Structure 1
Amino acid sequence: MERLNWHMADELAKQHEVQVIGPGGAAALKPQSVILTETPLKPLPLFLLMAFFRGVWITLRWKPDVILAGSGLTAPIAWLLSKLRGARSAAYLHGFDISVNHGLYRRLWRPIFKMLDKVIVNSSPTHALAIAADVNPNKISIVYPGVSLPESSQPAESIAAFKEQHGLTGKKILLSVGRLTTRKGLREFVEQALPAIVETEPDAVLVVVGEAPKNSLGAGIQSVESIQAQAAKSGVSGHIRFLGVITDKKRLATAYEAANVHVFPVRHIPDDPEGFGMVAIEAAAHGLPTVTFATGGIVDAVSEKLSGTLVPSGDYVALSEQIIKILHTDIPTPRSCQDFASQFAWERFGENLRENLGTFPMETKPHRLKY
């Protein structure tokens, strides 16, 4: 979501004046053409209160035309400030923004979604959730998150060095990238799928990039220790590597391109849906197919036979079989994965976002957006 919000501001700033209110520390990472006002993230109530008051100051002084919330959490602020200015209000919503099972949030936040001038969602399942929350369908548009398309493949020597560093030379690499949350289901994968894969492919190794979230508002976590304990119990301790978070783009690209298949065993949790599944698009951009459960917005992020395989939610036998099949056949091919991912370039995301916000064309006076 942080990466998505960064690109949202960056793409809008290519044609419009953009100011952002964001958490402390964001200024060091912001897009160059964006003006940013920082607000301490913790405690959360204080962040929301200070974001509102700073928003009032910016709105009265700067007079934006569109006020956009980067998630459902800040949608009430965007709506209130739009009324103060007479501006248009909008929010970009993820599945959890709508489905979160919290009494106060459902009473105070969700009704605001119906009052916004525009609701942009990240997938067709999130679109359905918005309609179920009584948002006017005419106000809702789907704008899929984007991906950075690599200009070239990583050098063979870099991939070889990566494998040697982590003891992966000659191994079949199953890659998992993302936060270690309950929804991501990595512990269940280690318990119910990895043993069958290892039995058929003794050289198979699960490589995990990511860590448990520190600032998540709703996600339950699965610690590295709990996953390791499950691996020991399931007899696959020697078939798993934890690399932690990788922020270096080239190193992450090397991890993708060193792997044989991206595994994405997301669990179906009604109150905590997978809004889209950007990591599946990232994997495809590097030529890596994804095997995943068909749940939430993942159905929009993986194309059967082009970029991976969708199996029925919770069917770990089918998940294992499809992973083994890809290890044996190398289908989908890297080219078909990359062709699918090209539809989600950030430039296209920006075009769709600007179109659905109803902003003015570049030739006219630049539109002012508060984000």
Structure 2
Amino acid sequence: MVSRNLPPLTGGMERLNHHAYQALGKRFKVALCGPAGANSIVREEDTCREVGLSSLSRFLVTCQWKTFRLARRFRPAIVYSGSGLTAPAALLAGRSTRAPVACFLHGLDIVADHPAYRLVFLPAIRRCDRLIVNSRHTAGLAIAAGVPEERIVVVHPGVDLPNFSLREGARARFRDQFGFGSRPFLLAAGRLTERKGLAPFIRHALPEVVRHLPETLLVIIGEEPSHGLKHRQGIITEIQTAIREAKMQSHVVLLGAVDDEQLSDAYFSADVHVFPVLERPGDVEGFGMVAIEAAAHGLPTVAFKAGGVGDAVAHGQSGWLVEPGQYDELTHNILNALDRANSHTEQSHVRDARAHAERFCWNTFDSRFLDAIEPLLQRSACPS
């Protein structure tokens, strides 16, 4: 297994690849090449080679060499890449040891528009023997990019289901900690990138929500990525500018990064999760893991139906989907969701959201992930 997206780095891709490593460990002894600090998650019986994250180019060169050497020593039955970024390293390792290669694609892996990426990485992705994708949308992107459809399997990311009996205590703890009281509370969580659409949301939707419900608060949790495949610094500055221009200073709180326990408390505390994702050339929301995490806490999501978000939000069950850019409709659905959060029907909506999230538990991911690579095992076992 080779991936740049593993603990101690944090985020949805890192969590997914950690679970992929654990799933592989149920059937295999694993040799892992990952970022500095990855050895902390590796079992005693497994092998790990770490690569520093000082720069992307240095990581890629060092990762290619260490993965190749690890494969020559380990003689794997399968080589697995956690994203398109490490597909060339996985492909070289697989071809040099005659092992089949699987790669997990996350959406941006396909649409990233850097010329060098499209020249080197996309051809490597197309040559992998199995492409596991995180949504139907990503599958469509892969097919459009020249990946044979028969090599593609959709495996949605998983989620941990929290103990719902802890909800009331978590709500009180989080709201008291930050002084939010009983104010209507919108939550936006995740890495702060341009495609998350928070600055336009603050300009075009939040003022109308506040006009109807003057106490409404938008709480933003997350930070700008520093090791992403496609990231641009300055997103927080853009959000702060939008707050000033829309005169929303008393209605928006940027909490930055929080630990997993605080994030869970935030999901329990909020009334609506907002996900105003934008459609951008060369960038895409491959799935929308935060919408599943919100649903697992009984929290509905109001989102633009962009990228793979339609796989993550069940319209009318775990939230509501709006065509991208329709801010009036987005606002209307947020106000309806806030009204439901304070009505006698709230418990039925909580149950519906939780039922949707249960279909994405990590045990389901593990079994579908292993099923996806099973044909490669049969190929590996065939005599050459």
In the superposition, the TM-score normalised over structure 1's length comes to 0.93
1:22 alignment counterpart: 34
Change (3 A) 1:320 1:329: same
Deviations 1:143-195 (A, max 9, x none): 11111111344253442132122121110100010111100011111000000
Cα displacement (A) at 1:272: 0.3
1:82 alignment counterpart: 94
Q: What is the aligned-residue identity percentage?
A: 39
- The alignment yields a C-alpha RMSD, in angstroms, of 1.9
* Kept in 2: contact 1:211–1:244 (CA 8 A): yes
1:185 alignment counterpart: 197
Choose 196-205 or 30-39, whichever is displaced more. Answer: 30-39
Change (3 A) 1:118 1:192: same
Cα displacement (A) at 1:18: 1.5
Aligned residue identity for 2:71: T
Matches within 5 A, 1:199-218: 199-218=211-230
Distance in 1 of aligned mates of 2:166 and 2:84: 37
1:300 paired to 2:311: yes
1:259 alignment counterpart: 270
1:219 paired to 2:231: yes
The structure showing larger relative contact order (alpha-carbon pairs under 8 Å, at least 6 residues apart) is: 1
Aligned residue identity for 2:121: W
Matches within 5 A, 1:1-371: 1-30=13-42, 34-154=46-166, 156-247=168-259, 249-330=260-341, 333-358=349-374
Aligned residue identity for 1:348: T
Cα displacement (A) at 1:29: 4.2
SS at match of 2:325: coil
* Kept in 2: contact 1:291–1:322 (CA 8 A): yes
* Kept in 2: contact 1:177–1:279 (CA 8 A): yes
Distance in 2 of aligned mates of 1:232 and 1:51: 44
Change (3 A) 1:98 1:155: closer
- Deviating above 6 A after TM superposition, structure 1's stretches of 4 or more consecutive aligned residues are none
Gaps of 5+ in 2: 1-12
Change (3 A) 1:151 1:12: farther
Change (3 A) 1:210 1:325: same
Choose 90-99 or 154-163, whichever is displaced more. Answer: 154-163
* Kept in 1: contact 2:202–2:242 (CA 8 A): yes
Aligned length: 362
Cα displacement (A) at 1:90: 1.1
Change (3 A) 1:323 1:197: same
Gaps of 5+ in 1: none
Cα displacement (A) at 1:77: 1.1
Change (3 A) 1:213 1:189: same
* Kept in 2: contact 1:10–1:33 (CA 8 A): no
Aligned residue identity for 1:354: L
Aligned residue identity for 1:24: A
Distance in 2 of aligned mates of 1:67 and 1:129: 23
Cα displacement (A) at 1:221: 4.2
Aligned residue identity for 2:374: G
SS at match of 1:28: helix
* Kept in 1: contact 2:185–2:219 (CA 8 A): yes
* Kept in 1: contact 2:167–2:268 (CA 8 A): no
Choose 114-123 or 152-161, whichever is displaced more. Answer: 152-161
Aligned residue identity for 1:132: A
